[in-house]
Amino acid sequence: MHKLAALFLWALIRRAVAEDSRLGRAEVELPLENVTKFAFGSCNQGSSPQPLWKHIEAEKPGFFLWLGDAVYGDNRVLPLIWRPNTIEAVREKYAEQARHPEYSKFLASGTKVLGIWDDHDYGLNDGGRDYKDAPLVQQIFLDFLKEPADSVRRQRNGLYTSYLIHSSHGKTIKLILLDVRSQLDRATADVLGAEQWQWLEAQLQAGAAGEADMMIVTSGMQVISDTPTVDRMERHLKSRTRLLDLIGSYPKVVLLSGDVHYAEVNCWKSEQSNRHAVHELTSSGMTHTCLNWGIPPLDKLCHLTLELVLQSKYRVSPQLLKKNFGTLEFDWQDEKGKVTFNAHSADGVEFSYPVTVSELSSTVAKCPPVVSKPQPVHVFWFCFAGLFTGVFVTAYMLLHLFKSLLRATSSMIRGSPSSGTSKKVQKKRQ
């Protein structure tokens, strides 16, 4: 009897140890070998031309990663004003993207596609946990990615997950995808929710304990940037502070993001001496950026505004306003090791940003110098240009509204009974 009890207790201990060893481990091991490069991008209109896919394919990435807004599932009723769509309409938006000619050709190349959502493919601009159709859209999104039926992402509340990727020279990369929409609570400024916070810390701990030689954490919205007017985690300051402190506590971590319709790099370093610098690499605007107005003065205004005035104080790179995608390249050939972010347009690589593994591992390493800060003369011209733009946008919205009312009135007149009676009278007279 005592022997059976001892064996039972030993079995329980072994099971507990096994479960503890799996805690925080990558949830999926990708069946890929020697991955030294992958591509990523965000903000993609299914109804628009998509000229970048052939350039992405030419880079021969190990896989492609959606960083949010793979489709625009919500409904734009006026410029800058969005409303939720019906589930049928959301499903059709995903189907439209899946059958897009350029994207279909890319999928036919066999490149694996992974992804996380942001607000528009979530189903609601700036949406959070109060979006009632989120569970339904979650399944549509996973169907779009061809996620297996038994995937943990189909059972949990949210799309967060992690992958283990085999690179060259026996190195491994851990890819951690955060869901910044499903649990976003503006009342408490909590972006991830208690369960995802706990999960993330366990993922980082396991990665730093030897599971991976480098970790990549992704977010649909920018984390470090303080650029005004864009959707960024600084609007939820408590979560931003907590996330940067958590990521900065671990070595060899890089942050990826999308959403803002341009490419850039931001860097953050805590004042605490035991924290690592966090480098955030952003690529956004696969089908549309602010240079798509097609009106030269407005295109120039957009460029000057973002380049000279509305810029993050943490930006350490040039800014790419053309339609773009990013690649992340890993070089393990020397002892230091290196990861390089390349910002691509249809014209090729526009700028590169390399970081060595030793820099990512050191708490002494600092961020590169930031780009020049806005000057008073720039702010003056921005205010003047902002007034002009405000008048232009207001006139554009009023014209759009007038056209909508005109169409509605015309439809009512054509469908009215008196209209039908009038037509009958005319026929009799003839």
For the CA atoms of 181, 187, 189, 193, the dihedral, rounded to the nearest 10 degrees, stands at: -50
Give phi and psi for 280, each to the nearest 5: -110, 120
* 24: Cα separation from own chain's centroid: 23
pLDDT value of residue 153: 98
Does residue 254 fall inside a structural domain?
yes
Are the CB atoms for 216 and 163 separated by under 8 Å?
no
pLDDT value of residue 318: 92
Note whether 346 and 400 are same-domain residues: no
Number of compact structural domains in the chain? 2
Does residue 429 fall inside a structural domain?
no
Distance in angstroms (rounded) separating the CA atoms of residues 150 and 154 = 7
Note whether 196 and 310 are same-domain residues: yes
Could you tell me where the beta strands, DSSP code E, fall in 43-187?
A: 63-67, 75-78, 81-83, 112-116, 161-166, 172-177
Are the CB atoms for 114 and 66 separated by under 8 Å?
yes
Instruction: Look over the chain and give the mean of its residue pLDDT values, rounded to a whole number.
Output: 87
Note whether 347 and 292 are same-domain residues: yes
DSSP 232: B
- Start-to-end CA distance of the chain, whole Å, equals 108
Does residue 245 fall inside a structural domain?
yes
Does residue 391 fall inside a structural domain?
yes
Nearest to 73 by CA among 147, 138, 130: 138
Note whether 384 and 270 are same-domain residues: no
Note whether 30 and 67 are same-domain residues: yes
pLDDT value of residue 374: 59
Note whether 112 and 175 are same-domain residues: yes
Nearest to 224 by CA among 302, 307, 313: 313
Are the CB atoms for 58 and 37 separated by under 8 Å?
no
Distance in angstroms (rounded) separating the CA atoms of residues 11 and 33 = 36
pLDDT value of residue 388: 65
Residue span of the structural domain in which 61 resides: 23-373
Are the CB atoms for 279 and 265 separated by under 8 Å?
yes
Taken in order 298, 304, 309, 312, the sign of the CA dihedral is: positive
Nearest to 108 by CA among 44, 53, 166: 53
Distance in angstroms (rounded) separating the CA atoms of residues 84 and 70 = 16
pLDDT value of residue 380: 60
Note whether 329 and 381 are same-domain residues: no
Note whether 201 and 255 are same-domain residues: yes
Kindly report the number of other CB atoms within 10 A of residue 366's CB atom.
10
pLDDT value of residue 336: 77
Helix (H) or strand (E) holding 355: strand 348-356
pLDDT value of residue 45: 95
What is the mean pLDDT for each group of 10 consecutive residues in the chain (430 residues)? 49 39 86 96 96 98 98 85 92 98 98 97 95 97 97 97 97 98 96 98 97 97 91 94 97 97 96 93 95 71 76 93 97 88 98 96 95 62 62 73 76 61 46
Are the CB atoms for 253 and 280 separated by under 8 Å?
no
Helix (H) or strand (E) holding 280: strand 278-282
Distance in angstroms (rounded) separating the CA atoms of residues 345 and 320 = 8
pLDDT value of residue 395: 75
Does residue 16 fall inside a structural domain?
no
In terms of DSSP bridges, do strands 253-257 and 214-219 run parallel, antiparallel, or are they unpaired? parallel
b/e burial code for range 68-77 (CB count within 10 A of at least 16 → b): bbbbbbbbee
Distance in angstroms (rounded) separating the CA atoms of residues 387 and 305 = 13
Q: What is the CATH number of the domain that holds 291?
A: 3.60.21.70
Contacts of residues 370-374 at CB distance under 8 Å and 24 or more positions apart, as own/partner, are 370/267, 370/313, 370/314, 370/315, 370/316, 371/311, 371/315, 371/316, 371/317, 371/318, 373/311, 373/313, 374/308, 374/309, 374/311
Note whether 234 and 311 are same-domain residues: yes
For the CA atoms of 216, 222, 226, 229, the dihedral, rounded to the nearest 10 degrees, stands at: 170
pLDDT value of residue 206: 97
Beta carbons within 8 Å of 108's beta carbon, 6+ residues apart: none
Note whether 293 and 393 are same-domain residues: no
This prediction's pTM = 0.84
